[in-house]
Amino acid sequence: MKAIKENAKRNRRQRKKLYLDEFTVNGIYFQLTVNADVEVQEQFVEELTDFVDNNDMYGTGTYGIGEKAEFWVFHNERYQSPSDEQQQALNAFLEKHSTVKAIGNYKSINVNYPEL
């Protein structure tokens, strides 16, 4: 895949097509240390999914491999990123949940170009 030059001059159509500048879409990435019991993890993921859905977001992730889990959460709308309020609500949900032992590497990422 060809690398994207960040500072190249592009017209609006190109920026939109490439999801750059004002069309950049960000998501939330986080790693968790959770209870190792798979049934407890599945219940947590159901609760997390319900929370994310109810807050106009969607997500994906991996879990069930010991105590480690990682998730990506995005806004439902095209060209939208999770708002500060949505991020704070998600963080509060994770901090108060009894299944979560630790939250690590909680950060905003560029959905289309995570390396930027």
Could you tell me if residue 8 is inside a domain? no
> Tens-of-pLDDT digits for all 116 residues of the chain?
566 776 678 899 998 998 888 888 999 999 999 988 888 889 999 999 999 999 999 999 998 778 899 999 999 998 899 999 999 999 999 999 999 999 998 999 998 888 75
DSSP code for 98: T
Could you tell me if residue 5 is inside a domain? no
Could you tell me if residue 23 is inside a domain? no
Could you tell me if residue 76 is inside a domain? yes
Q: Decide if 18 contacts 10 (C-beta within 8 A).
A: yes
Could you tell me if residue 34 is inside a domain? no
DSSP 16-31: HHTT-GGG--EEEEEE
Could you tell me if residue 73 is inside a domain? yes
CB neighbours of residue 4 within 10 Å: 13
- The tally of domains found in the chain comes to 1
DSSP code for 111: S
Q: How far apart are the first and last CA of the chain?
A: 14
Q: At what angle do helices 84-96 and 38-54 cross, to 10 degrees?
A: 160
Could you tell me if residue 100 is inside a domain? yes
Domain carrying residue 65: 39-108
Could you tell me if residue 61 is inside a domain? yes
